[in-house]
Amino acid sequence: MLKCLVIGSGIAGLATANSLQKAGHHATVFEAYSVPSDGVGGFLTVAVNGFDALDTLELKEAAANLGFSTPQMSMYLGSSGKHLIDFDYGGSLPDGTTARTMTRSELYGMFREAASHRGIRIEYGKQLATVKEAPDGVTAVFADGTSAGGDLVVGADGLHSALRPLIDPSSPAPRNIPLLNTGGIVDSGLVPAGLPDVEPGRMKMVFGKRCFYCYMQDPEGRIWWFANPLQRSSEDPAALDHSARKAWLTQLVAGDRTPMATIITATDGIIRPYTTSDFPSIPSWHRGNLVLVGDAAHAASPSSGQGASMAIEDAVALGRSLRGISPADIPGALSRYEKERRSRAESVVEWGRRNAAPKIRGQFKRVFEDLVLKAVFRSLARKTADNFDWVYRHHIDWDAAETARAR
C-alpha cells in the first residue's frame, strides 16, 4: 500500500483520492484554504465521458442525482435571432445517462461526502511550500511549518499549481484567453412570465453583437446562464458592484433579439467576472514520485465543456496505473499514466481554444462573421456525429491491461 499525499481538495484532488483508495492505497488530501469550499463557484457541466469515469469510482449514481440533464445545445445569432445549428451534448451512455449541468458546489460536496464515507482525511490550511525528496520517499512541507511524509505527491492544485514548478521549473505560465466568464441563476419565482425561447434541457448558445452567452432552464423553472464578454484592458468589470455589473452586462446584450437582457435584469446574484486561461502543453507531468492531475497539468478553456470530466478521467487513469504497485515501481507507473493521458488532454485543450475563437470578435469581425457563420454551421451539420466521439466516447477500463479506448 502506497501512502499518497494529494495537494488540493477540489474536484481533481477529491476524485484522485477516491481513485487511489480504489487502487488499494492510502490517500490524504491537503488543502491550502482553511475551510471547505461549500457554496463556492458557479456551475459546470459533466459530460458523458465524465460520467463514464465516475462509474468506475462508483459515484455515477450519486452524480446523476445532481443538477439537471442538458443533452442538447442550439446555436443562434444574437443580431437576427436566427437559428444556426443543433447539437447533441455527447449523446448518452448505454443506460441513458446524459450530460448534466450542476453547481460546482454540488459536485464538490458529493466528492467530499464520498471521501468522508471512505475514510479519506482532508487537512485544511495546508499550503504547499516545497517537497523534499529522498530514496525512501517524499515529504511535503507546508507554509505553516508542518510536513507530511509519503511515497507519492499528487498535484491537484489547479491552474496556479505549487507542485508544477517543482516538477519542472521551465513549465510555462498559463496562456491567456481574452474572454471573461460570469453568470448566474434566476430563481423560478423571479423569472418573468412568458419568457420566450427557453426550454428545459437545451442550452441556447448565442453569438451576440457584443458578447457570447448561453441560457437554459431547469425542470424547476430556474434560468441558468453564463456570458463570455471580451476582456478589455480599459475596463475592470471584476471591480464593479452588483448593480453596476448588472448594468454593464445588460448593455452588452441589449441590442440582441433574445431574452438575455431580461434574464440578467432578473438575476439576484451575478458571479464576479473572472479571466480565463489554458495550457497548450507543459514539459512533463511527472518527475520521480511527483505527478500532476487536472488543471495543474492541462487546463482547458471553459469552452471545451470538459474541465471536470477530464479531471475525473485523470483520477481514474492515475489510480489504474498505480494499482497493486510497490514504491519502487512509482516512476514507471507515472510514465504510463502520462503516456496514456497527455495526447488526449492536449487535444482537448486545443479543441477548447478553437471553440473559444468565434467568441473573440470585434465589431467589424462580428459583422463579417455573421454573414458566414450560418454557412459554416450548415457545413458542420453535414458532417457525421462521429467527429466528436473521440471526446465523448472515451472509456478507461479499470481491469484491462491495455490503454483507454472508445466505447
The residue with cell 419568457 is 195
Is the Cβ–Cβ distance between 3 and 30 less than 8 Å?
no
pLDDT computed for residue 192 by the predictor: 83
Only one residue has cell 454573414, namely 371
> How far, in Å, are 84, 143, 285 from residue 166 at the CA level?
47, 15, 11
Residues 222-256 as b/e (b if ≥16 CB within 10 A, e otherwise) read bbbbbbbbbbeeeeebeebeeeebbebbbebbeeb
Give the span between the Cα atoms of 122 and 120, in whole angstroms.
7
162-192 pLDDT, tens per residue?
999 999 999 999 999 999 999 999 999 888 8
The stretch 201-209 carries a mean pLDDT of 92
Max CA-CA distance within the chain?
Answer: 68
DSSP at 145: S
Gap between the Cα atoms of 159 and 10, Å rounded? 12
Phi-psi region of 173 (alpha: psi -120 to 50; beta: other; left: phi over 0): beta
Cell 475525473 belongs to 312
pTM of the full structure: 0.93
User: Are the CB atoms for 77 and 368 separated by under 8 Å?
Assistant: no
Amino acid at 42: G
- Ordered by where they begin, the domains of the chain are 3-174+279-406 (3.50.50.60), 175-276 (3.30.9.30)
Residue 369 has pLDDT above 70, yes or no: no
DSSP 8-state class, residue 380: H
Decide if 182 contacts 229 (C-beta within 8 A): yes
Per-residue pLDDT tens over the stretch 34-69: 998 887 789 999 999 999 999 999 999 999 999 999
Confidence of residue 123 (pLDDT cuts 50, 70, 90): very high
Tell me: pLDDT of 17 over 50: yes
Does the structure show a pLDDT above 80 at 317?
A: yes
What's the average model confidence in pLDDT over 382-405?
A: 73
> Which ranges of 172-284 would DSSP assign to H, the alpha helix?
242-253, 260-266
Residue 404 pLDDT grade (very low, low, confident, very high; cuts 50, 70, 90) = very low
Stretch 323-327: mean pLDDT, rounded?
94
